[in-house]
Structure 1
Amino acid sequence: MEYLTIPQTNLNVSRVALGTWAIGGWMWGGSDEKESIKTIHTALDRGVNLVDTAPVYGFGHSEEIVGKALAQYGKRDQVLISSKVGLEWNEQGRVWRNATPERITKEIDDSLRRLGVDRIDIYFVHWPDPLVPFEKTAETMNKLLIQGKIGAIGVSNFSPEQMDAFRTESPLHLCQPPYNIFEQEIDDEIKPYCQANNIALMTYGALCRGLLSGTMHSRREFHGDDLRKYDPKFQQPRFDDYLAAVDKLKELAAEKSKDLLPLAVRWVLDQGVEIALWGGRKPAQMDPLDEIFGWRLDQDDRQRVQQILTETIKDPVGPEFMAPPTRRKT
C-alpha cells in the first residue's frame, strides 16, 4: 500500500480508499450486510485506512454498515472515514440536491449517529446546489470544521468556478470527481485547478461501474434498481465498443503480467491523482489490492491506453447520467 498526507492537513491516508456505494445496496441491486462488513475488514487488513460513504448510499444503510464494521474491527484511531452532505430524498427514493445550512446541520448529526463516531475525518459536499450560494455552503462547512465535527473539507462534482466561490469562505482540502480510463473529463480543467491550488484529488469510479474489473461480458444482465440498467455505457451498441476496449486493455495488462483491474487503478494513481476510490461488497473483490502497488505505467503505456480508446470507442459518453436534479424553487 502507498500512503500520503493530504495537503493542509495531518491526515495520512492510503492511496486506495474503499468506496461503499454498492454496500448501501441502493442502485446496485441490493447488498448483504455480513458480506459487506467482511469486505470492509478485508480492505482494512490489506492496508486501506480510508472508508468512503454517504447518507444517500442506501438512505443511511451504508453509513450504518460502515459504523458496525468499524465498531467490530476496533483500532478506530487507525481508520479514517469520509462521508458527504447535501442530498435529500423522500420515501419513494427520489433524490435531489439540498446544501442549505439547515440541511447540512441536520445531516452531520445524523451521519455521526449512524457511523457511531464523534468526528468525520473528511466531509464532502456531495453535489453543487445552484439554489444556495456556494459561499453560504462553505461557511456552514467551515463552522463544522471549527467545531471539530469534521477534520477536513471536500467537494464532489464541483467545477473550478464553483470551487473558487467556495474557497472565499472556507479552506478546501479535497475534491472528489469521477475519473477512470473511460471518463477523463477532469483532465481539462478540474485536475489542473486542484494541482494549482494544493487540493488533493480523491476520485471515484476507478473501475467505471465494473467495466474495468475484467469480469464484464456482453451477456451480463442487471436487475432491480441497478444503475447500469440506465448507464449509457452499458447500452448497445455502445456496450460492445467499451467491451472491445476492455479486451485490448487486458492485452496491455497481460504484457505487464497484471490483470485489468490493477492496471485500471494504477492508471488513475499515475495520472496525478492522490487517492483512488475502489468500490466493493464482497471480500474476494479486495484480493487484487496488492497488485496495484510496486510498479508504474510509463508514458508509452499511457499513450497506448489512449490509442486503444481512439480505435475502439466510436461514441464515447461520460458519467453525466448520475447527476441528481436540483430541487424546485419555493
Structure 2
Amino acid sequence: MEYYKIPGTDLEVSRIALGTWAIGGWMWGGTDENESIETIHAAFDKGVNIIDTAPVYGFGKSEEIVGKAVAAFGNRDKICLSTKATLDWTENDKIKRNGSRDRIMKEVEDSLKRLKTDTIDIYYVHWPDSSRPISETAKAMRELYDQSVIKAVGVSNFTQDQMEAFQKECPLHLCQPPFNIFERDIEKDIKPYCQQKDITLMTYGAICRGLLSGKISKDTHFKGDDLRNADPKFKEPRFSGYLEAVQKLEDLAGKRFNKSLLAFSLRWIFEKGIPVAIWGGRKPSHLEPLDDIFGWSMDLATLSAVETILAQTVKQPVGPEFMAPPTGV
C-alpha cells in the first residue's frame, strides 16, 4: 500500500479509499451487514486506512455499518473516516440537495452517532446547492472545522467556480469528483485547478460502476433499484461500444503487464496524477486485487494505447450526469 499526506492537515491516508455506497444497499440491490463488516476489516488488513461513506448511502445504513466495523476493529486513531452532508431525504424519501446551515448541523450530529465517533476526519459537501449562496454552506463547514468537529474540509461534484466561491469562506483541503478511464471531464479544469491550489483529489467511480471490472457482459442483468438500470452507458447503442473497449483494455492489461483489468484501471488513475482513488467492495474477496495495484507503472506507450482504444470503440461517450440529485428549494 502507498500513502499520501493531505496538504494543510495532519492526515496521512492510503491511496486507495474504501467506498461504501454499495455497502449501504440503496441502489445496489440490498446489503449483508456481516459480510460488509468483514469487507471493511479485510481492507484494513491490507493497509487501507480510509473509508468513504455518506448519510444518503442506504439512508444511514452505510454509516451505521462503518461505525460498527470500526468499533469492532479498534485503532480508531489510525483510521480516517470520510463522510458527507447536504443531501436531504426527509420529505417523502425523495432526495434533494440542501446546503443550509441547519441541514449540515443536523447531518453532522447524526453522522457522529452512526459512526460512533466524536470527530469526522474528512467532511464533504456532497453536492452543491444552487438554491442558496455557496457562502452559507461554506460558513457552516467553517464553523465545524474551527470547532474541530471535522479535521479536513472537502467538496464533491463542485465546479471550479463553486470551489473558488467556497474558499472565500472556508479552507478547502479535498475535492471528490468522478474519474476513471471512461469519465474524464475533470481533466479540463478541475484537475489542473486542484493541483495548482494544493487541493487533494480523492476521486470516485474508479471502475465505472463495474464496467472496468471485466465481469460485465451483454448478458448481465441488474436487479431492483440498481442504478445501472438508469445509466446510459449500460444501454444500447453505447453499451456495445463500452464492452468492446473493456475487452481491448483487458487484453492490453494482460499482455503488457499480466494484470487484471481492475488493477490496470486503478493504476491508470494514479498514473494520471490522482493522489487517492475510492474503490468500492462488497465482499472480502473483492479486495484481493489490491495487491496488484502498487509497485509498477505504465509507460507513455501504454497511456497512448488507452487513448487509441477509446477513440476506436467509444463513439458516444457519456459521463455520470444521470446520478445528479435535484436541487432543493
TM bracket (short chain): over 0.9
CA RMSD of aligned residues (A): 0.8
Aligned to 1:49: 49
Shift of residue 327 of structure 1?
Answer: 1.6
1:321 is aligned to 322
Residue 286 of structure 1 aligns with which residue?
Answer: 287
> Is residue 2:303 matched to residue 1:302?
yes
Aligned match of 1:132: 132
Q: Report % sequence identity.
A: 59
- The Cα of 1:176 is off from its aligned counterpart by 0.1
When the two structures are superposed, what TM-score results if normalisation uses the length of structure 1? 0.98
In structure 2, how many angstroms separate the alpha carbons of the residues matched to 1:90 and 1:116?
Answer: 22
Matched letter for residue 298 of structure 1: D
Give the CA deviation at 1:299: 1.5
What is the letter of the counterpart of residue 203 of structure 1? T
Q: Deviations over 1:228-277 (max 9, x none)?
A: 00000001121111010000000110121101000000011111111000
Q: What does residue 75 of structure 1 align with? A: 75
Other-structure match for 2:22:
22
Following superposition, the deviation at residue 314 of structure 1 comes to 1.3
Q: Are 1:65 and 2:65 an aligned pair?
A: yes
Show the counterpart of 1:259. Answer: 260
List per-residue Cα deviations over 1:104-142 (Å, max 9, x = no partner): 011000000000000010000000001121122111101
AA at the equivalent of 2:262: L
Letter in 2 for 1:268: I
Secondary structure, in 3 states, of the residue corresponding to 1:129? Answer: coil
In structure 1, C-alpha distance between the alignment counterparts of 2:215 and 2:24, rounded to whole Å: 22
Distance 1:298 1:326 in 2: 43
Equivalent-residue separation in structure 2 for 1:169 and 1:237 (angstroms):
45
Map of 1:153 onto structure 2: 153
Distance 2:206 2:292 in 1: 15
State the match for 1:36 in structure 2: 36
Aligned residue identity for 1:167? Q
- Partner residue of 2:237? 237
1:94 to partner: Cα distance: 1.3
| Cα drift, residue 72 of structure 1 | 0.6
Query: Which runs of 4 or more aligned residues in structure 1 lie more than 6 Å from their structure 2 counterparts after TM superposition?
Result: none
Residues 265-301 of structure 1 show CA distances to partners (whole Å, capped at 9, x for unaligned) of 0011111111000011111000000100001112211
Tell whether 2:178 aligns with 1:178. Answer: yes
> Mind listing any 5+ residue stretches in structure 2 that lack a counterpart?
none
User: What is the identity, as a one-letter code, of the residue corresponding to 1:287?
Assistant: E
Gaps in structure 1 of 5+ consecutive residues: none
Between the aligned partners of 2:92 and 2:273, the Cα distance in structure 1 is 40
Q: Which amino acid aligns with 1:270?
A: E
**CA–CA distance in 1 between the matches of 2:321 and 2:195?**
23
For residues 112 and 9 of structure 2, the distance between their equivalents in structure 1, rounded to whole angstroms, comes to 21
Letter in 2 for 1:243: L
Aligned-pair distance for 1:90?
3.5
1:13 aligned counterpart, secondary structure: strand
Match of 2:117 in 1: 117
Q: Which moved more, 1:299-308 or 1:287-296?
A: 299-308
Aligned equivalents of 2:52 and 2:320: distance in 1? Answer: 19
Cα offset for 1:78?
1.2
Distance 1:172 1:77 in 2: 22
Q: Deviations over 1:172-191 (max 9, x none)?
A: 00000000000000000000
- Tell me the amino acid that sits aligned with residue 56 of structure 1: V
What is the number of equivalent residue pairs in this alignment?
A: 328
Aligned to 2:142: 142
1:152 counterpart SS class: strand
Q: Residue 91 of structure 1: CA displacement? A: 6.3
Counterpart of 2:138, as a letter, is A
CA deviation map 1:299-327 (0-9, x unaligned): 21111111100000111101000000012
Counterpart AA for 1:260: L
Name the aligned partner's letter for residue 74 of structure 2: G
SS in 1 for 2:4: strand
